[in-house]
Structure 1
Amino acid sequence: MKKKIWIIIGVAALILLFIGANVFRAMNKEELTVKTTQLKNQEIIGNVMIPGSLKFADEEYFYNEPEKGKVGEILVKEGDKVTKGTTVIRYENDQLHLEKEQNALSIESQNLKISQLKKQLSDLSKKEKDLKKEVGDKEAKKTIDPERDQLKLEQKMADIEARQLKIQRQTIEKQIAELAVKSEIDGTVLTVDQQSASAVSQTPKPIVHLGNVGKLVIEGVISEYDSLKVKEGQSVTIRSDVIPDKEWTGKVTYVSVIPEGNEATMGGMDDAAVQYPIEITLDSAEMEARPGFKLIMEIETDKRTVDAIPSEAVKQDGEDYYVFTVEDGKAVRKNIKVGVTSGELMEVKEGIEKKDKVILSPSDTLQAGTDVKVK
């Protein structure tokens, strides 16, 4: 009797379980609603995203140059505005001034020697005239010519030495002029370090650092693949993690044709990553970021109209991309071939048609054949 009761209870439990499963499936069927989109012709922008560092477009460092002498004066202070050609540092070199004075004396002495040789040649010509009267032209010439040739040779050597002394004078004057070190840019004095003017170190520090604070650039590197797409003149959007609510614009103004670290990358190191330096110039100098800030640059490499759908509709399985479409109330998985991604859009080259209803944001548990209802 008890066995019969247990059998009845078991059958009832199975019936209840079956009914519950059907109810659960029915409830799920009613709740599985989806939003869809369709393939459309849309303008997309291909881009390359790389990091970069903000720097002055023009800056100049002045280090101690002991070969010029000792630093006599630093003629600027921090915050000064300077123009190209402004004397920043003046060196003192007594030895050069002594060499200049000695050279001047040598030139004066040589000029006297040349004048004396010219006078001797003139006197020799007079002597020749008098001798012609006494012994005739032929004998006079025979007597005078050797002496004249010797004087002309000495005169020629004296002229050469005089020219050498003048070249020496120009060299000394140039060295003295270089004692006044001048700025090669317009800019602002950023730092002045008096101690570096006399310190001797294996890692010298600049005495003066100039920078053009009104002109900033961003420097970065691109891969060999991206170097085929990035060109001068392309537009760039710039962002900073430090200032997340701001963005700036600029343009690519330089793309190197030679990879960074030329000797290493072109000297047979096959495993070395090849990277090409680039430079971005900002459209506006008004930027809260400071030189040294790390920035993210999004370079627009091309702009075209393609068939695209929102990226959120696309799923990836290894190297394969796929979407789910709705056909006769069921989810259908379709593999697609994609192109470039631009913002929230992804190019679709093949796999679906414009009439297909593509499910947006499909869940990871969605499977082909699942009953779906379009919202």
Structure 2
Amino acid sequence: MKKKYIIAIVTVVILAGVGVGSYFLKQSMNKESVATMEIYTVPSTDKVFVNGKIEPEKVENIFLDATKGTVDKVEVENGDVVEKGDTLFTYKNDQVQSQVEQLELQLNSAKSQKEEINKQNAEAKKQLEDLKKAGLENQMPQGGQMPNLGQNAGGEISTGSVDEQIKLLEKQIKALKDKEYYKVTAPIGGKVILAESSTNPTQPYITVESGDYYISGSVNEKDQPKIKEGQEVQITILSTNKNINGKISSVGNTPIDNGASLAAQTGAQGGAGGNMSYYEVKITPDSQEDLTNGFHVQASVNLDKKPIEIPKEAILSVDNEEFVFKNVDGKLVKQVITYSPKEGSEDEVIVSSGLNEEDKIVSNPTPNMKEGMNVE
């Protein structure tokens, strides 16, 4: 019995020893996964920030014109895309319509008068032919005129004055009908925006926005001399955090009133006091994708053309793939790069793709480092 107790105690001691050993082994392995390494931060260059918003290149506002009548038919819906010259809506002028109806009555009367004259002339001609057939030409009045018919010297009643009246009335009716229905066409191609209310004459009834956008921004007086037309910029759309590239198309020389307000809305960086003047900056984006009218943006202009340089020893090569390890939220992340040698230096290289300013990379990586390892 005593022997059994001894065996049990020995077994417990052995199991406890195995457990303690496993614990310390696990701790040792965990420590190995926590790599103590040197971190290199890619330097940032001196920048100017341009704060602004996305706007269409062209905007055409169309207001209602009461002198042309009332809106009879709208040919477009909100959000439609139209071409230049497409019909947007049609006016109808009820006053013109009334005038047309009156003139048409006069025209019908003139045409009836002409028909009556032609009828009388035909009747007179028939009577003359009948007299000739009966051999009674000598009974005809001198000059071949029939009595009581009102003919002219040529034997017929003239329709000249009635014809002139008809032509004049038809011309007047045509001119008025051109005014009765008046078509309003799109002055530019783009997207249609219909007004919520058509009763306010001070608000556009229809707005047409071109489909190409630009950035309307501002800079303070300290930064205005540092930038110029043609400089490349990196644009961040603040609401979506998407990045696009572009170029400065113009830099204003006249202070603008809304510059400080715009800078405050977009969270201007670089600092500016309340007494600072602001100047307009226009930026043309390289791509029209992901652009929405009115979205606020911040564009950064690199004042230095200095390339991204990193230590050569930070680069690892595996299976013809060259990469570095980035420190992202305390974890190693593999980043493939392309680079070229730096002239006059054997210790540094110039990175052309794969890294950005302020990226943090491991400058002394080892082959046993893996993605996901903790960084200390």
Q: Same fold (TM over 0.5)?
A: no
Tell me the TM-score normalised to structure 1 length.
Answer: 0.41
Tell me the TM-score normalised to structure 2 length.
Answer: 0.41
Tell me which protein shows more helix as a share of its residues. Answer: 1
